[in-house]
A and B are shown apart, each in its own frame.
Chain A
Amino acid sequence: MMNTFQFDTASLLVALPEIFLLSSIVVILLLDLFLTKGFKQVTYYLTQASLLITGILSYSLIGQPETLIFGNSFILDDMASVFKVFMMGAAMVAMVYSRHYLTQHSLFTGEYFVLVLLSILGMMVMVSGYSLLTLYLGLEILSLSLYTLIAIARKRSSAIEAALKYFVLGAIASGLLLYGMSMIYGISGSINIIDIAAFASDSNLGSRETLIINFGLVFLVIGIAFKLGAVPFHMWVPDVYEGSPTSVTMFISTVPKIAAVAMLVRILVDGLGSMHAYWSDLFMIIALLSIALGSVVALMQTNIKRMFAYSTISHVGFVMLGFVTGVVTGYGAATFYILAYVLMSLAAFGVIILLNKKGFEADQISDYKGLSKHSPWFALMMLVVMLSMAGVPPFIGFYSKFFILQQVISAGFVTVAIIAVVFAVISAYYYLQIIKSMYFNDAEQELTITAPMDMKLVLSINAILILVVGLFPDFWMRLSLSLF
């Protein structure tokens, strides 16, 4: 067998963000060893700097023509670049919030930042993955870092339990995903998305081929739904959210969601888009169950992290509804939704972390009683986030729900839209409950805000963005639509 492979070094330039990030991970990892206790902050600043530069490199690649390198297993297109820029931005904000939490709970170690960077590398691989193998490897890099990040608070038994639960269930989900991938590979004869797409969209596809693709498709949908945390594969979400250190919970609920949506797009839209009629039915059931269960069960929660876990489940349901429509505008609306959700979730967990102090986690809803009297500004920020998540105009959460429902109705699923709206109204109750305890109840305990200035500033900007993007959503909407 002769080697016909052409390796052009110049083609590596389109993978520059990944290459840079991996190099800086290695540098930070080694440098951290030699830093004495007083200089540990250097790791933090280097992490932020490498995230920033990776973001800038990704930004500079926006607008490049679609390029496939590494034997068609890596794709550079606008979706990859835009998602990477958003992921870097979200990760930087998350790091600013995390630093306060980590110093308060004495978890500030160099490994934490290295693991976060590695998980981001995994997500970038997923976003740019154009073969089943690279997508899977990216997912494993992401998951393995997340398991470790949760267990990093090893003095807390709840964190160990959460990590173990996530690990076992994640391993099963990875197995199912791999099994589905092997079916698709077995019938199409390729692991590259581009070849799978060509195979699946062949007009004279036999019933045998369709059957096997469908068989694999079910497993792929299960794997993706697990990673997104959609019902009935949501069991891990509340326990992991509650048990993890809050900074890790914030990270899990934001950046990886973008990567999971990217993986969904790569496999189901780019690869098996012609099989849409088969997977959209599965998606609709999963989406409606997620919206219903997420909205109803969250009503009973007293722990705010657990409540946000169920709220995530219902938000994920909305994102999946966008993919049910099967039209480009629907996919755009789903992308808009997930990016908006990441913005809101960051701010929500930011407020939780803001109230953290040594030996105290502000994770009960009753902890927010009387916040408006103690700190009117941050109570207002939380008010903005909660109203936005509930879907009240003019915040971004309203428009994200609005675009999804608009697409769902124009695709002819009026009943589905009505069910989704009903549960969205029900879910407004628990968001308003937090507002009620902030504004109309007296504080049960002394609230102190020990957060540094940079965190307060970033959190304020984050919350104000929710309002500003909500007032002018057309830029984000056009950006989301241009990706498909």
Chain B
Amino acid sequence: MTFDQILFYVFSFWFVASSLAMIFSRNAAKAVLFLILSFFSAASIWILLEAEFLAIILILVYVGAVMVLFLFVIKMLNIDKSTLRAKFTGYLPLGLIVAVIIIAEMTLVLGGNQFGLDVVSAPARHAADYSNITVLAMQLYTTYVYPFELAAVLLLLAIIAAITLVHRNDVSRKKQSISEQVSVQAKDRVRLVSITSPKKENK
């Protein structure tokens, strides 16, 4: 077993184990931490595949940004776990049967017979000075410029959608109206109330 293979099995083990731990953990915050571990393992496997840029992006974007956001949301929402798990056992047998069938079919079709090293040759290793990012950029801004632009449109759409759904009416927004502030008069803000003060009782 080469060093590469040992690394691959270690990372894969952590990947599968942390994914399972994420699904079965009772604490939502712990589940997020396990998910971070599984992302990290996946990124490590990508580095073994010489996809360094993607691996770093996975860690920066998903672990650094998305998962932190997830943690915030989980902490703020205070999800009731009992309602989430209420139908879990009811659906478990059916779900297990379906999952087993799908896994069996997938291993039959996608197993070593179809994608083993004797069928598909291993990709050639690149030299040490090979730049992953340069090649990626070259492809992204030439051959794939159209999908790249479409992804930008998708992001614009996501912004519009988020604002449309969250933005409330003008009434509830606290905004500063300078003209109103300038033209305000004392009688609008200050109300003089004449209070009859009780007379001092002279002893």
Residues of chain A within 8 A of B119, CB atoms compared: 208
B interface residues, tally (CB under 8 Å): 26
Which chain B residues border A151 with CB–CB below 8 Å? 165
Chain A min CB distance to B20 (Å): 20
Is the C-beta of B177 less than 8 angstroms from some C-beta in chain A?
no
Which residues between 136 and 160 of chain A lie within 8 Å of chain B, taking CB atoms?
137-138, 140-141, 144-145, 147-148, 151-152, 154
The answer to whether the Cβ of A111 comes within 8 Å of any Cβ in the partner chain is: yes
Which candidate, A67-75, A256-264, A266-274, A301-309, is the interface stretch facing chain B? A67-75
When the two chains form their complex, are residues A111 and B147 in contact, meaning their CB atoms are under 8 A apart? Answer: no
Bound-state Cα–Cα, A148 to B166, Å: 11
Q: Which of A22, A145, A154 contacts B161 (CB 8 A)?
A: A145
The segment from B35-43, B82-90, B138-146 that touches chain A is B138-146
User: CB of B49 within 8 A of chain A?
Assistant: no
Instruction: Identify the stretch in B62-70, B150-158, B194-202 within 8 Å (CB) of chain A at 4 or more residues.
Output: B150-158
- B17 CB–A CB distance under 8 Å: no
Bound-state CA distance A147–B151 (Å) is 18
Contacts of B145 in A (CB 8 A): 7, 70-71
**Nearest residue, chain A, Cβ from B162:** A148
* Of A114-122, A318-326, A390-398, A409-417, the one with at least 4 CB within 8 A of chain B: A114-122
Q: Could you say which interface size class chain A belongs to?
A: 35 or more
Q: Are A141 and B142 in contact, with the CB atoms below 8 A?
A: no
Between B147, B158, B163, the greatest number of chain A beta carbons within 10 A of the residue's beta carbon is seen for B147
Q: Do A211 and B114 have beta carbons less than 8 Å apart?
A: yes
- Please measure, in the bound complex, the distance between the C-alpha atom of A109 and the C-alpha atom of B165, giving whole angstroms: 12
B151 & A137 in contact (Cβ 8 Å cutoff)? yes
Residue in B109, B142, B150, B161 whose CB lies within 8 Å of A71: B142
Q: A70-B145, A148-B165, A154-B165 are in contact. Are A111 and B151 (CB under 8 A)?
A: no
A125 touches B161 (CB 8 A): no
CA A71 to CA B143, docked complex, whole Å: 5
CA distance A1 to B133 in the complex (A): 12
Shortest CB distance B143–A (Å): 4
Q: A137 near B138 (CB under 8 angstroms)?
A: no
Nearest Cβ on chain A to B103's Cβ, whole angstroms = 14
Task: Determine if B114 and A208 form an interchain contact, defined as CB atoms under 8 angstroms apart.
Answer: yes
User: What separation, in Å, do the CA atoms of A154 and B109 have in the docked complex?
Assistant: 45
| Contact present for A29 and B160 (CB under 8 Å) | yes
**Contact between chains at B150 and A7 (CB < 8 Å):** no
Does B183 sit at the interface, judged by CB under 8 A?
Answer: no
**Partner of B164 from A131, A138, A141, A152 at Cβ < 8 Å:** A152
B142 touches A148 (CB 8 A): no
Distance between Cα atoms of A186 and B113 in the complex (Å)? 15
The answer to whether B138 touches A3, judged by C-beta atoms less than 8 angstroms apart, is yes
Flag if B150 contacts A144 (CB, 8 Å). no
Q: How far is the CA of A336 from the CA of B98 in the complex (A)?
A: 39
Q: Are B161 and A137 within 8 A (Cβ)?
A: no
Is A144 a contact partner of B158 (Cβ separation < 8 A)? Answer: yes
Shortest A437–chain B CB gap in Å is 37
A5 interface hit (Cβ, 8 Å): yes
* Contact string against B for A residues 263-292, beta-carbon threshold 8 Å, 1 for contact and 0 otherwise: 000000000000000000000000000000
B143 partner, pick from A5, A121, A152, beta carbons under 8 A: A5
Please state if B150 and A111 are interface contacts (CB–CB under 8 Å): no
- 27 residue pairs A–B, Cβ–Cβ below 8 Å: A1-B135, A3-B138, A5-B142, A70-B146, A71-B145, A71-B146, A74-B146, A111-B160, A114-B160, A115-B161, A118-B157, A133-B144, A134-B150, A137-B150, A138-B150, A141-B153, A144-B154, A145-B161, A148-B161, A151-B165, A208-B114, A208-B119, A211-B109, A211-B114, A212-B109, A215-B109, A215-B110
A73-B146, A138-B150, A148-B165 provided; 10 other pairs, C-beta below 8 A?
Answer: A118-B153, A134-B146, A134-B150, A141-B150, A152-B165, A186-B115, A208-B114, A211-B114, A215-B109, A215-B110
B residues in contact (CB < 8 Å) with A: 109-110, 113-115, 119, 135, 138, 142-147, 150-151, 153-154, 156-158, 160-161, 163-165
Which 10 interchain pairs have the tightest Cβ spacing? Answer: A70-B146, A5-B142, A71-B143, A148-B161, A137-B150, A111-B164, A215-B109, A133-B147, A118-B157, A73-B146
